[in-house]
């Protein structure tokens, strides 16, 4: 059966038009379902908001720690060995002060 190019094009367009109509029908069904689900969701009672204070209290120091670690890595890249020097300085600062000797108490006896 010989068909002309115009006939083939007409049949192809007709099939595509039918596919298009079928897809539009499916889209309409899905949109209706979404509208129904959204209506159900708004009708539900809303849960009480959770307290995020503890989570925020933990997240803030972690975020600060990460930022400081990133800054230290950048500094270490430009000045190698600076982290070890900083740790030594912190250890020196953190050590307890030397005990003072009290010379006044040497010859004094109790009351």
Residue 33 lies in a domain: yes
Domain that holds residue 16: 1-45
Same domain (yes/no): 1, 36: yes
What pTM was estimated for this model as a whole?
Answer: 0.35
Same domain (yes/no): 61, 24: no
Residue 29 lies in a domain: yes
Same domain (yes/no): 31, 60: no
Task: Please tell me the total count of domains within the chain.
Answer: 2
Q: CB count, 10 Å around CB of 56?
A: 10
Q: CB count, 10 Å around CB of 86?
A: 13
Evaluate if residue 34 carries a pLDDT over 90: yes
Q: What is the pLDDT of residue 77?
A: 87
Same domain (yes/no): 6, 38: yes
Evaluate if residue 106 carries a pLDDT over 60: no
| SS3 assignment for the chain | CCCCHHHHHHHHHHHHHHHHHHHHHHHHHHHHHHHHHHHHHHHCCCCCCCCCHHHHHHHHHHHHHHHHHHHHHHHHHHCCCHHHHHHHHHHHHHCCCCCCCCHHHCCCCCC
Same domain (yes/no): 21, 41: yes
The model's pLDDT over 48-97, given as tens digits with 9 standing for 90+, comes to 877 766 777 778 888 998 998 898 888 888 888 888 888 888 888 888 87
CA–CA dist 67, 73 (Å, integer): 10
Evaluate if residue 1 carries a pLDDT over 70: no
Same domain (yes/no): 7, 41: yes
Same domain (yes/no): 6, 31: yes
Q: CB count, 10 Å around CB of 75?
A: 13
Same domain (yes/no): 77, 41: no
């Amino acid at each position: 059966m010989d068909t002309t190019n115009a006939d083939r094009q007409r049949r192809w367009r007709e099939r595509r038009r039918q596919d298009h109509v079928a897809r539009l029908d499916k889209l309409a069904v899905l949109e209706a379902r979404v509208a129904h689900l959204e209506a159900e969701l708004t009708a539900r009672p809303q849960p009480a908001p959770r307290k995020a204070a503890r989570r925020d209290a933990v997240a803030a120091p972690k975020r600060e720690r990460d930022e400081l670690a990133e800054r230290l890595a950048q500094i270490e890249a430009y000045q190698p060995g600076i982290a070890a020097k900083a740790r030594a300085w912190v250890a020196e600062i953190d050590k307890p002060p030397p005990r003072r000797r009290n010379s006044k108490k040497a010859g004094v006896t109790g009351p």
